[in-house]
Structure formats: C-alpha cells, structure tokens
Structure 1
C-alpha cells in the first residue's frame, strides 16, 4: 500500500511538472504533459518491430557507455541497459529541459518511485530494457536522474538522423 501511495504521488508530481512545462511553453495544459514530452522524443516502441539492439552500460564512474548513440528517424531500438555499478542507476530518455525538471524533483524526493516507457531504473548488477521508436529527427537526451548522478555528468545523447538524409 505504501509503495502504491508513493508511486501515485510520484506520478502526480511528474504530471504536474510536465503540465507546468507545457503551460510555460505555450502549449495547452490539458493534463497530457507526458504526451507532449513523448511526442518531442518519440514514442514507446513495439519489441517485435525493433530493428536493432544497443547495449548500454551504466557505471559508478557516473558514465554511460556509449554516451553518444546514432539512430535513424522512424527506427525502433531495443536498449539493453546494464548497471555494472554498486549504486542504483537509471536511464531516462527526454529533452534536456524535461530531464533537468525531473532531476530537480528527484533531488527533493530521492526515494520517489517511477516507471515510464522512456526509462529503466536498475539496482546494482541488474539489467533491463527500453524499446523506443524515434519519430523525430534531432537530438534526444538521456541521463541518470538519481540524486547527484546528473550533476556528476551521467548523461548522453541520441542523434536521430533525418529520414531523407539517412537514406542518402
């Protein structure tokens, strides 16, 4: 019960942050903050449609390997993420603005539990995955939002090549 209350509180806090961000950006504040966020970075992918797998390692050196990833617009990628450290780490896909806002919320509520399709949180030695379709060309950031990790440089980026440029 306590876990569910924490999770619901976390979702409410994240929804409020996303809605506030959408309102500040001049978008409608219809309570669909995550929809706007996902539209900017892509959408959850279907595992059966993944065209390739990218292994990502997270370490207590506060780094992702690789930290720079290149994909094509429209591509569905399966990220197999491994925490090879002793601390809890996570990989969260988002815009730089969204990641910073979420990180500030995490610093205030370090035990906040959350689970969204654009993220995976892993205990030491564990592995997990994210399946994501990159629908827009540009840059999609990712980071570990555990308190202190983002500030220590635990971040990276996915460069999404334009569909027409990628075909050349």
Structure 2
C-alpha cells in the first residue's frame, strides 16, 4: 500500500469512527428516537403527565426505585437524579434494545445521546424523561455506561393494561 492509499484508508476509518461516535449510524444510537417506541411507548408531553416519579441512581449500580407501576396510556415525568460520583444513565427500552445499545456503549463509551427515551447525567446532576406508555407489558430501563448494566443497574416499568388514558 502506498502513502496515498494509506492516507485515504486512515481518513475513511476516521470518518467511520466519527459517524459512529456521533450516533448517526444505522441501527445505533442515532435512530433511538423511533427505534422500538412501538414496543415501549412514545415520548410524552410534560403538560400531559399524570404524575412525576423520582428515580435515584447510585454508585452501587442500582436504581431506587427499580420497579415502577404505571397504567397503559399514562404519561409519566421521570425526574432522574445521579447521587453518585460517576456518570450514570436512565434508558427506557426493550431488553433486546438495551443489550444492543450496551454493546455499542462498550465500544464507544463517550458517545453522546440526544434521544427522548434516555438521560445521561454527570455526578450530582438531575434530568428528566417524559414518556407515554402506550402498550401493556414490561418496559425495561438500565444504565448503559460500560460495566454498569452487567453489574445489575437495571429496572422495570410494569404497564398495567386496561382502558387507555386520554391522550
């Protein structure tokens, strides 16, 4: 390989890494706005939230609470607090989506997120996710920072079926 071919190859690799790190790659972070929403619900409107649930994230790799009950159709405002000394996330999704996302996070741990189903928080910070749960069943949530998911930083929202709340 000559110098020009090597330079072009390195530029190509750099561009690929930049696209992946930006979250714009197919099947990765950039498409989470719609990815799986049918299964777990959809972004909610804060003014239509029926209640607020505060979730605390800790450095012992746990959420408090780790189990949350909601009703089908309900819009919930989650206030997420990172009371730890390291960065944590709160990501809503199916178990499969969370596991796929986690594999990407292990490869690109500094990847930035801008999706409505998650919040990434520095130590001591607070953020929120407003979500409408459109289907009955279980919606998982987890911290996808490398090592945290494997350490058990997971939880579930149990969505009780029945009459849908007004939209």
Shift of residue 114 of structure 1?
Answer: 1.2
Q: Name the structure 2 match of 1:16.
A: 27
Distance 1:7 1:55 in 2: 34
Q: Name the structure 2 match of 1:68.
A: 67
State the 4+ residue runs in structure 1 displaced beyond 3 angstroms: 5-10
Distance 1:68 1:77 in 2: 14
Matched residues, number: 149
Q: Which SS does the other structure have where 1:61 is aligned?
A: coil
By percentage of residues, which structure has more helix? 1
Q: Name the structure 2 match of 1:48.
A: 47
Q: TM-score, normalized by length of structure 1?
A: 0.82
Task: Tell me which structure has the larger Cα radius of gyration.
Answer: 2
Q: Which SS does the other structure have where 1:150 is aligned?
A: coil
Runs of 5+ unmatched residues, structure 1: 19-31
Q: Name the structure 1 match of 2:5.
A: none
Q: TM-score, normalized by length of structure 2?
A: 0.82
Shift of residue 115 of structure 1?
Answer: 1.5
Q: Which SS does the other structure have where 1:80 is aligned?
A: strand
Q: Does 1:146 align with 2:130?
A: no
Runs of 5+ unmatched residues, structure 2: 1-16
Alignment of 1:117-156 (within 5 A): 117-156=116-155
Q: Which SS does the other structure have where 1:12 is aligned?
A: coil
The Cα offsets for residues 63-100 of structure 1, whole Å up to 9 and x where unpaired, read as: 00000000000000000000000000010000000000
Q: Name the structure 1 match of 2:3.
A: none
Q: Kindly report the root-mean-square deviation, in angstroms, between the aligned alpha carbons of the 2 structures.
A: 2.3
